[in-house]
A and B are shown apart, each in its own frame.
Chain A
Amino acid sequence: MASVSELYDVTWEEMRDKLRKWRDENYRNSEQIVDVGEELLNEHASKLGDDIWIIYEQVMIAALDCSRDDLAVSCLQELKRQFPGSHRVKRLAGMRLEALERYEDATKLYDSILQDDPTNTAARKRKMAMLKAQGKSPEAIRDLNEYLEQFVGDQEAWHELSELYINEHDYAKAAFCLEELMMTNPHNHLYCEQYAEVKYTQGGLDNLELSRKYFAQALKLNNRNMRALFGFYMSASHIAASPKVSAKVKKDNVRYAAWAASQINRAYQSIIRKCDRL
């Protein structure tokens, strides 16, 4: 089998920089990471210097994703040898146990980390991820709530909680979590749009009006958010079609819906024109 460097004609420095780019931007392309990383570690380990340890970690997690337990174990052994007694390495060992579905052993490992250092968030998050993986959503939600009581500022956790609530169809609480995210990231159009979608799903006139406002806010923050544009159109037309609204509200919403429809048409026209030109 041809190696990555032969297939793509790249040097080991380019491979290392590519891995760093994937690391920084949080990519989850595990198969590619395994291909590139494995070759880098086997052929060019001595040239990597101190970068090698973080590459071991990155490749190990990718190997767990691709069920490459052999590669994962070898990476883990190197890390254990270099950093004995490190909590970060222990967490990786726990992740490997999770990948083998040995959940009780993994739980014991994470509990030992937490006994040593109660503020270690990584171990707690792994425990909650295990519950989610086993399908125990209510327990995961309960644990995540307790976690958030102590670490109120953890945005990743708030987002995860909102996802869990949406899966359980508890839209009111999902909206609360998304409000938390909107508060801390007021300029992120995606949170506004997700919040608007949850409100739209909840239904009822007030929620529809709220969702229309937040779709508009998402559009204001990012003009190219097509989902928000469609959402704006749908919520406006829904309100206009509802029998309980006053005439003024109806007129306003008809205007909004018409505007949204014309913008959607414009967008598709511009795409068609660009494609014709290509």
Chain B
Amino acid sequence: MAGPELFLDSSIRIWVVLPIVFITFLVGVIRHYVTQLLHSDKKVELEQVSDSQVLLRSRILRENGKYLPKQSKRDLEEGRLSLHSATPCHTLWMVLNWSQFHPTTGQQPKHSSKAFAMRKHYFNNAESGFFKKVKRKVIPKNPMTDTSMVTDMMKGNLTNVLPMILIGGWINWAFSGFVTTKVPFPLTLRFKPMLQRGIELLSLDASWVSSASWYFLNVFGLRSMYNLLLGHNNAADQSSIMQDHMTGAAMPVPPDPNKAFKSEWEALEIVNHHWALESVEEELICRDLNFGGMVSRELKTTMF
């Protein structure tokens, strides 16, 4: 789409482009401070913290369980231990005192090196496993009636969406009727009605945009400036709010712990234990140890 380059009045630059940048930036900073003022501390429930840590532990068991010993071979052979006859141990304290509850032998088994099996059993056992037994009472949070969620939503809307609409509309009204700037890449004609509000020229290149689109460009582009001035986690950063909705898996507190428990149970059921230390001695012995850096030249004895 060649055509002669348009020359814009330089007063557009002084009176339109720069003011829009300043306005966007200041509004963002004000939004940040207003959010901080209205921010109410979210009180975390003990149960939520506890549940999130249990889920983390189960996940770690799945990933790193191969570094733990599975079960002592001799115990298996002599039939002293069997996963299915093991007494249900439904609290961690009882798991720690496992040996006292063994049903078949009166004495304590000498070799309690059944680390992985014991932990998997603690989580997944059909009658007493943590994931099977513990059903958290989940009160489904109705967004309409639950007061805290309603106020949170209102606050979110007020501080983020409302200013954007207001200022966008005001800019559209105040700075309408002329071309503001040109985006450096070619665009198709489809973009014209979106980006060229108020400019009714059919033949104008779609790259030339109006002030409203320059405003929106600024809203997203000034994110890194906000990071520079306000540090991370600033409330002026809108894109992170949108990202929060997407990364549900990374949230520390799942809204429905029962579902999370069920999925963890399934994941743990299918995991098998392949001991990572089967042949560790052979691997170690085949080469000499590297003692580099074991002796340092000087020992620091003074404070500074």
Measuring CB to CB, which residues of chain A are less than 8 angstroms from any residue of chain B?
Answer: 4, 8, 10, 14, 18, 32, 36, 118-119, 145-146, 148-154, 172-173, 175-176, 179, 182-184, 186, 199, 204-207, 210, 212-214, 216-217, 219-220, 223-224, 229, 252, 255-256, 259, 263, 266-267, 270-271, 274-275, 278
Q: Identify which of B44, B69, B290 gathers the most chain A CB atoms within 10 Å of its CB.
A: B69
Q: Identify which of A182, A199, A213 gathers the most chain B CB atoms within 10 Å of its CB.
A: A213
Residue pair A270, B291 in contact (C-beta under 8 Å):
yes
Given the interface pairs A151-B53, A204-B110, A206-B111, the reply to whether A216 lies near B280 with Cβ below 8 Å is: yes
Residue pair B54, A216 in contact (C-beta under 8 Å):
no
A152 CB, nearest partner CB in chain B, Å: 5
A-B contact list, 7 entries, CB within 8 Å: A182-B67, A205-B74, A210-B69, A213-B280, A219-B289, A229-B289, A271-B294
Contact of B304 among A10, A224, A274 (CB under 8 A): A10
Residue pair B281, A119 in contact (C-beta under 8 Å):
no
Q: Which residues of B contact A36 (CB under 8 A)?
A: 303
Q: Which residues of B contact A8 (CB under 8 A)?
A: 302-304
Q: Which residues of B contact A259 (CB under 8 A)?
A: 285
Q: Which residues of A contact B113 (CB under 8 A)?
A: 175, 199, 206-207, 210
Contact of A183 among B64, B99, B285 (CB under 8 A): B64
Residue pair B53, A152 in contact (C-beta under 8 Å):
yes
Residue pair B303, A153 in contact (C-beta under 8 Å):
no
Contact of B277 among A216, A223, A275 (CB under 8 A): A216
Q: Which residues of B contact A154 (CB under 8 A)?
A: 53
Residue pair A220, B64 in contact (C-beta under 8 Å):
no
C-alpha spacing A106/B192, complex, angstroms = 71
A267 CB, nearest partner CB in chain B, Å: 5
Q: A182-B68, A252-B281, A267-B294 are in contact. List 16 more A-B contacts (CB 8 A).
A: A8-B304, A152-B53, A152-B54, A176-B96, A199-B113, A206-B75, A207-B113, A224-B293, A256-B281, A256-B285, A263-B289, A266-B288, A266-B289, A270-B294, A274-B295, A275-B295
Per-residue CB contact flags for chain B residues 54-95 toward chain A (1 = under 8 Å, else 0) read: 101100110011011100111100000000000000011101
Per-residue CB contact flags for chain B residues 84-124 toward chain A (1 = under 8 Å, else 0) read: 00000001110111010000000000111101000000000
Q: Looking across the interface, which residue of chain B has its beta carbon closest to that of A118?
A: B46
Per-residue CB contact flags for chain B residues 263-304 toward chain A (1 = under 8 Å, else 0) read: 000000000000001001101110011110111010000111
Q: Quick check: is B50 within 8 A (CB to CB) of the other chain?
A: yes
Q: Which residues of B contact A146 (CB under 8 A)?
A: 93
Q: Which residues of B contact A119 (CB under 8 A)?
A: 44-46, 49
Q: Which residues of A contact B93 (CB under 8 A)?
A: 145-146, 149
Q: Looking across the interface, which residue of chain B has its beta carbon closest to that of A184?
A: B60
Q: Looking across the interface, which residue of chain B has its beta carbon closest to that of A203?
A: B110
C-alpha spacing A256/B112, complex, angstroms = 25
Residue pair B50, A151 in contact (C-beta under 8 Å):
yes
Q: Which residues of A contact B304 (CB under 8 A)?
A: 8, 10, 14, 18
B101 CB, nearest partner CB in chain A, Å: 14
C-alpha spacing A213/B50, complex, angstroms = 34
C-alpha spacing A270/B302, complex, angstroms = 28
Residue pair B68, A183 in contact (C-beta under 8 Å):
yes
C-alpha spacing A10/B304, complex, angstroms = 8
Q: Which residues of A contact B44 (CB under 8 A)?
A: 119
Given the interface pairs A151-B49, A183-B64, A216-B280, the reply to whether A224 lies near B56 with Cβ below 8 Å is: no
C-alpha spacing A206/B293, complex, angstroms = 35
Q: Identify which of B61, B72, B113 gathers the most chain A CB atoms within 10 Å of its CB.
A: B113
Residue pair B281, A179 in contact (C-beta under 8 Å):
no
Within 8 A of A (CB), among B18-67: 44-46, 49-50, 53-54, 56-57, 60-61, 64-65, 67
Q: Looking across the interface, which residue of chain B has its beta carbon closest to that of A259?
A: B285
Listed from nearest, the 3 A-B pairs whose CB atoms lie closest are A153-B53, A223-B289, A150-B50
Residue pair A145, B92 in contact (C-beta under 8 Å):
yes
Given the interface pairs A118-B46, A145-B93, A173-B96, the reply to whether A271 lies near B295 with Cβ below 8 Å is: yes
Contact of B280 among A18, A220, A263 (CB under 8 A): A220
Q: Which residues of B contact A199 (CB under 8 A)?
A: 113
Q: Which residues of B contact A152 (CB under 8 A)?
A: 50, 53-54, 56-57, 92
Q: Looking across the interface, which residue of chain A has its beta carbon closest to that of B285?
A: A259
Q: Which residues of B contact A176 (CB under 8 A)?
A: 95-96, 112, 115
Q: Looking across the interface, which residue of chain A has its beta carbon closest to that of B48?
A: A119
A204 CB, nearest partner CB in chain B, Å: 6
Q: Looking across the interface, which residue of chain B has its beta carbon closest to that of A192?
A: B67
B285 CB, nearest partner CB in chain A, Å: 5
Q: Which residues of A contact B280 (CB under 8 A)?
A: 213, 216-217, 220
Q: Looking across the interface, which residue of chain B has its beta carbon closest to that of A120?
A: B46
Residue pair A204, B111 in contact (C-beta under 8 Å):
yes
B291 CB, nearest partner CB in chain A, Å: 5
